[in-house]
Chain A
Amino acid sequence: MSETVHSGPGGGPEAAGAPSASAQPQSEPGGAGRWNATRIALVLIAVVVIVWIGIKAAGNLEQFVTVTLNGLSLSALYFVVASGFTLIFGLMRVVNMAHGTLYLLGGYLALNFQQKLFQDDGGGLNLSLSAGGGGGGGEYNLIEWIIPLAMAVIIIGVLGIAIQQLFLRWNQGQDLRQALITIAISVVAADQMLATYGGIAKDVKAPASFPESVHIGGSTVGFFRLVIVVGSALVIGLGLWLLIKKTRYGKIVRAGVDDRDMVSALGINVQLVFAGAFFLGAMLAGYGGVLGGTMLSLQPGEDTSFLLNSLIVVIIGGMGSLGGAAIGAVALGLVDAYADVYLVFGDHDLTNYSILLTFALLVIVLAVRPLGLFGRPA
């Protein structure tokens, strides 16, 4: 029980993602020499990939910038969601399989509030017609986006506490059972959301005052993606890092990870700390849901998709590691974005197979670091 919520050493230079892991000197115990061949192979793969992307990028620089920025905004969204997941795991060893559910529910709640509270009169029918179409469905200003956001996020946070207190608290330490419990919750919740919100893709409307897009050089990137989502991720990452490293709460959290009983014996209410962490982690999922609901869309299946994304991000980065989550998110987002565009070899369009690259990313990281880039043995 020693893995901590730690920010990885030096988040910056290694942001290139998976291949850089091969260059890391510290290997797992007992495997020092054995991995040489693997590492050479990995470095070769990395070189080939970089050269390929380089060639493609040189061909069309504007497209490259657009794709990269889109990928990074996707990374930012993945990070926001996964940071909550990794926070909860790092502190409590709870794998919250309902994390994707909290994400989707957060988005739906914000959508609900936005429509219920701020829709113009007589817009009920109007909206159902324009769902997904954009435009026409009434315009919302900044406040009308932020208030639903805040309400949804707080409700999701409270829901997270409820799940933790009602179901998980008395099963502390039984990580498998807790995972099964959260799976059961997500099954019920997914079905209920389908009943309530239907199967059609919907989205939360971004404030009308936001510009549509920003221009960088000759490239055009969506304003919301680039400024709001990436900005949120940066603020959240920095905030969590400060919270964990610099505050008393963070100290207790880190101590609680290492030795819960001792912290408890010192007169600190560990249960309160745990509830706080679950509140925070769930809020992050809900916040991610509102961002994702505005930037992408909300529909059944997104919960699975974001649970998978969170899993991959933290498996790559190492469970419980904030810096790892950041790097994992960047790697996953960029792989997603590049694979969708650059997997065309002459006449062969292989973009259908892009999911294999995600799998390959996972395999490569695990081959070198079984616990993820910054994972530490329990």
Chain B
Amino acid sequence: MSLAPDAATAEAEARTASHSTLTRNGWISLGVVIVVAILASYVVSDFWLSQILTKALWIGLAAASLIFLSAYAGMVSLGQVAIYGIAGMTYANLVAADGGNPASWSPWLAVIGAIVAATAAGLLFGFIASRSEGIYFLMLTLAFSVLVYYFFSQVTQLAGFGGVNNLDLPGLVGDPGADPAPLYFTSLVVCVALYLWMRYVARTPFGLSMQGLRDEPARLRALGFNVRLHRTLAFTFAAFIAAFAGILAVWYNRRISPGSINLGQTIDVLIIAVIGGLYRIEGAWVGALAFALLDNYSREWTPEIGNILGPERFNTLLGIIFLIIVLVSPGGLVGAWESMVERLRRRNGGGGAPRTTTTPGPEGGPAPTTVK
């Protein structure tokens, strides 16, 4: 049912088949990425650090929670933005701020409150949606997402149209407007830690049975697994991850309004996940980086074609890119990269991992699973 190619997933898992969180190569790559990320903060301009890298980190985290669900539990959720919206709105209403109903809590207490609230909402949503599968699940979570948006735009006591502005931030991140570095490093630490934790959870008995449920729900049900409980908990766990994305988002923006958690944002996060590929968690940040770059720079080189395309029509460009990726390479950038590497390896005659089970997809990408 999932977009993620089964064969490719299996292969990806085979690569990390050990019981550790990452393989040795995985740890090395992660280390390299972290070093590069740290060095980058000294090299790039403040604009880049804030608008591209920090934004890619937190929005990538939201997408990562989506990919986690999709890759390991086979649940493609459009509710992640709603969850992070709940976290952000809770935080905004708990700390001192303009608008909303601020309770003037200390920011750290508010963080805890926000994560608890968002995780609880995730538990509730997850419980309700846990009996739906595949496309039903997608629709239901989309409905949740839009309902949360309408809730916050209608309830003026909590947010209202203008949102909550000028939020109090913890001292740790200082003032991101003046110096983006502290928030960048905070986001980096949070993302790396949560990434490792997601990878770790995927290898636990819980994670393994979740993957079993993804592939063979009927068989696992027959073996006595509580399918509904697993799906609910998986969604709750992803909600917990998304809650952190929500906190980082309000720290980054210093404000939150219903407009920032609307359907457009839901779709943006989905697009990021799809660009990254729906079956590798790392892909989330690849997709987010690509998205942030597009968001900031496409306006400069997009040709202006009447009213149809131009600097003002970013969503059109984004939609077209999304469409092309979905049509051509369902594995996203990561999938395209992997199939390219695979093809090169095969051409060089080096006995690459046998992938005979994968029939080439429409455009050479890995074949998506067909629905039975």
- B157 to A352, Cβ gap below 8 A? yes
- CB-CB under 8 A from A196, the residues of chain B are 307
A44 on the B face (CB < 8 A)? no
Q: Which of A220-228, A245-253, A261-269, A357-365 contacts B (4 or more CB under 8 A)?
A: A357-365
Interface centre among A174, A188, A362, A366 (most CB of B within 10 A): A188
A10–B366 alpha-carbon span in the complex (Å)? 47
Interface centre among A308, A354, A362 (most CB of B within 10 A): A308
Report B297-316 residues with CB < 8 Å from chain A CB.
307-308, 312-316
A311–B146 alpha-carbon span in the complex (Å)? 11
- A95 to B135, Cβ gap below 8 A? yes
Report A192-214 residues with CB < 8 Å from chain B CB.
192, 195-196
Of the candidates B263, B316, B368, the one whose C-beta lies within 8 Å of that of A192 is B316
Interface SS of chain A: helix, strand, loop or mixed? helix
Interface string of B1-21 (1 = CB under 8 A from A): 111000000000000000000
A301 CB to closest chain B CB (Å) equals 8
Of the candidates A187, A352, A359, A362, the one whose C-beta lies within 8 Å of that of B267 is A187
Of the candidates A179, A188, A304, A354, the one whose C-beta lies within 8 Å of that of B146 is A304
A76–B75 alpha-carbon span in the complex (Å)? 33
Of the candidates A93, A174, A354, the one whose C-beta lies within 8 Å of that of B368 is A174
- CB-CB under 8 A from A319, the residues of chain B are 136
Report A332-377 residues with CB < 8 Å from chain B CB.
352-356, 358-359, 362-363, 366-367, 370-371
Of the candidates A185, A186, A362, A371, the one whose C-beta lies within 8 Å of that of B143 is A362
Interface SS of chain B: helix, strand, loop or mixed? helix
- CB-CB under 8 A from B134, the residues of chain A are 175-176
A270 on the B face (CB < 8 A)? no
Q: Which of B46-54, B147-155, B341-349 contacts A (4 or more CB under 8 A)?
A: B147-155
A186–B154 alpha-carbon span in the complex (Å)? 25
B173 on the A face (CB < 8 A)? no
- B319 to A187, Cβ gap below 8 A? yes
- A195 to B323, Cβ gap below 8 A? no
Interface string of B119-154 (1 = CB under 8 A from A): 000000000100110111011101110110011001
- A191 to B319, Cβ gap below 8 A? yes
A240 on the B face (CB < 8 A)? no
B326 on the A face (CB < 8 A)? yes
Instruction: Give 26 CB contacts A-B under 8 Å.
Output: A93-B371, A167-B327, A174-B3, A174-B368, A174-B370, A174-B371, A177-B3, A180-B322, A183-B267, A184-B319, A184-B323, A187-B271, A188-B323, A191-B319, A196-B307, A304-B263, A307-B146, A308-B142, A308-B146, A311-B139, A319-B136, A352-B157, A354-B154, A355-B150, A356-B151, A371-B136
Known: A184-B320, A192-B316. 12 other contacts (CB 8 A): A174-B368, A177-B368, A179-B135, A185-B323, A187-B322, A192-B313, A352-B154, A353-B151, A355-B154, A356-B151, A359-B151, A367-B128
Q: Which residues of B are interface residues toward A (Cβ below 8 A)? A: 1-3, 76, 128, 131-132, 134-136, 138-140, 142-144, 146-147, 150-151, 154-157, 262-263, 267, 270-271, 274, 307-308, 312-316, 318-320, 322-323, 326-327, 330, 362, 368-371
